[in-house]
A and B are shown apart, each in its own frame.
Chain A
Amino acid sequence: EAGVAQSPRYKIIEKRQSVAFWCNPISGHATLYWYQQILGQGPKLLIQFQNNGVVDDSQLPKDRFSAERLKGVDSTLKIQPAKLEDSAVYLCASSLEPVPPTGYTFGSGTRLTVV
């Protein structure tokens, strides 16, 4: 079974620029999550999708962050405009059901550096 694919692996941008990350979940996984992991901290949930609908985006900074999951498969996370404090690893995860312990697989992440 292929894992969760994320691209790019690394991205360096200047503050106030825009950036987008892409995630392809495991085939058949209905639930998709985006996490932000700042250096030295654990992952923090940004948004959770069930198929193509948003289940939880309470911690997504909606003034600059947006995410979509068209057709309920791939997802993109966008930041516009980026700030220095957005430097982090952005992890995508997917699961068959919205219950993490039954198969919650993370991708390798995209490391964003904002300068």
Chain B
Amino acid sequence: DAKTTQPPSMDCAEGRAANLPCNHSTISGNEYVYWYRQIHSQGPQYIIHGLKNNETNEMASLIITEDRKSSTLILPHATLRDTAVYYCIVRVGVKTSYDKVIFGPGTSLSVIP
């Protein structure tokens, strides 16, 4: 199973871009990279996901390296409400009959005024 490695914590100034890295060097060619966040013991919230190409939505951008061994989540203008634990996960298994998601410790992002 592909696993991910993230820094345990990061700080970001309010209004600046937050760049959260994730390593997934054992990712398989048909596995997706997902990002979720969790605000203070609430249920995790989906942010974005991608396979090969960079992706952007109203919340964030996802940059995946060409070799797919790492990715970066970008919050373009971080606000205090973005303070949360961010999880980078890889979807394990591609058959529709098998779906397993592994969450690691994540990165605790603190947005500082």
Same complex origin of A and B: no
Q: A residues within 8 Å of B by Cβ?
A: none
Q: B residues within 8 Å of A by Cβ?
A: none
